[in-house]
Amino acid sequence: TQIRHIVQNMPKAELHIHIEGSLEPELIFALAQRNGVQLAYPSVDALRAAYAFQDLQSFLDIYYAGASVLLKEQDFYDMTAAYLERAKADHVRHTEIFFDPQTHTSRGVPIGDVINGIHRACADSEVSATLILCFLRHLSEDDALATLEAALPYRDKFIGVGLDSSEVGHPPEKFTRVFARARELGLHLVAHAGEEGPPEYIWSALDVLHVERIDHGVRCLEDAALTRRLAAEKMALTVCPLSNIKLRVFDTMQEHNLLTLLDAGLVVTINSDDPAYFGGYLNENFLAAFDSLPLGLQHAHELARNGFAASFLPAEQKQKFL
């Protein structure tokens, strides 16, 4: 249909993509072979068959196992280059890519190899791409602080920090000091909050960490005062429709609250989160939402525009997309 065609072809920004979540099963097996890593699954099909998740943690267990094949700088380059090709095909003009250094440094991979490999692929791409270093919230704040210090020789290669991994039981305030340090360094700040965790985690991401966007944030609607505040401050939510269905945040796409969020005046963006695991890249996320919810052409333009508006592009570059 006409609207599907417009949604697919319009220029878009992507603000919530974990690069390790773009690792397709075929590339996992190719890198395992190249690096002599033993996988727990005998074949690509067996691995893909394991992609049936009950919740965030059951996904994270498989996601970290998949990332274990990444050892060399070139592996990080190849993974990132493959994602950027898919993004380009979906008419993504700008992307702000999350990466999880602790997933790799804990296996002995030098942080410089992680950052340089991902960054070099970004520099080689036609798509505008910047990097956001994420701390794993199931690990300690001291581990996050050490990770930030270890990344400082590469300060020019990332624009911000984020917070991801197991949400419930690991509230934003656990990371007060490391976010304060990142803020002093002039880094942009984001955090996952209100995916599985309660609205209180969104409040503390705002008031304690001072984040500039909320990743997911879909549970904000449980708190009317919070919803009003997010709207008043034009605080963007990086919503990930297919992720929310695969991780059972909502039972079906028809029940997703994306349109309700828009109607509440929130700056909603659409993103892919972990496209290799959740069934699609950015266009598939847009199409899944548009196929299941009563969204129209105005919504398509608003969602695309929000992606650029909520980006960390410098004002002059941002203006060209708006």
Q: How many residues bind Zn ion, per CB under 5 A?
A: 1
| Nearer Cβ to ligand HPA (4/138) | 138
Separation between Cα atoms, residue 208 and residue 176, nearest integer Å: 6
| Nearer Cβ to Zn ion (196/273) | 273
Which of 11, 7, 15, 22 lies closest to 281, judged by CA? Answer: 22
Q: Is 274 annotated as a binding residue?
A: yes
Report the nearest approach of ligand HPA to the CB of residue 278 (Å). Answer: 9
Please tell me whether residue 96 binds ligand HPA under the rule CB under 6 A.
no
Please tell me whether residue 164 binds ligand HPA under the rule CB under 6 A.
yes
Q: Which amino acid is at 165?
A: S
Exposed, middle or buried by CB within 10 Å (0-12, 13-18, 19+), for 181?
Answer: middle
Please tell me whether residue 95 binds ligand HPA under the rule CB under 6 A.
no
Q: Is 192 annotated as a binding residue?
A: yes
| Nearer Cβ to Zn ion (113/273) | 273
| Nearer Cβ to ligand HPA (55/124) | 55
Q: How many residues bind ligand HPA, per CB under 6 A?
A: 11
Phi, psi of 267 (to 5 degrees): -85, 85
Please tell me whether residue 165 binds ligand HPA under the rule CB under 6 A.
yes
Please tell me whether residue 167 binds Zn ion under the rule CB under 5 A.
no
Catalytic residue among 20, 24, 73, 195: 195
Q: Is 195 a catalytic residue?
A: yes
User: Quick one: which of 24, 75, 113, 273 contacts ligand HPA (CB under 6 A)?
Assistant: 273
Q: Which does 165 bind (CB under 5 to 8 A by kind): Zn ion, ligand HPA, none?
A: ligand HPA
Three-class HEC string of the chain: CHHHHHHHHCCEEEEEEEHHHHCCHHHHHHHHHHHCCCCCCCCHHHHHHCCCCCCHHHHHHHHHHHHCCCCCHHHHHHHHHHHHHHHHHCCEEEEEEEECHHHHHCCCCCHHHHHHHHHHHHHHCCCEEEEEEEEECCCCHHHHHHHHHHHHHHHHHCCEEEEECCCCCCCHHHHHHHHHHHHHCCCEEEEEECCCCCHHHHHHHHHCCCCCEEEECHHHHHCHHHHHHHHHCCCEEEECHHHHHHCCCCCCHHHCCHHHHHHCCCEEEECCECHHHHCCCHHHHHHHHHHHCCCCHHHHHHHHHHHHHCCCCCHHHHHHHC
Q: Which does 227 bind (CB under 5 to 8 A by kind): Zn ion, ligand HPA, none?
A: none
Q: Convert residues 242-281 into a mask of x (bound to Zn ion by CB under 5 A) and - (unbound).
A: -------------------------------x--------
Q: Convert residues 9-48 into a mask of x (bound to ligand HPA by CB under 6 A) and - (unbound).
A: ---------x--x---------------------------
Closest residue to Zn ion, Cβ-based? 273
Q: Which does 96 bind (CB under 5 to 8 A by kind): Zn ion, ligand HPA, none?
A: none
| Nearer Cβ to ligand HPA (19/151) | 19
Q: Residues marked as binding for Zn(2+)?
A: 16, 18, 192, 273
Q: State the residues that interact with ligand HPA by CB under 6 A.
A: 18, 21, 56, 63, 164-165, 192, 195, 243, 273-274
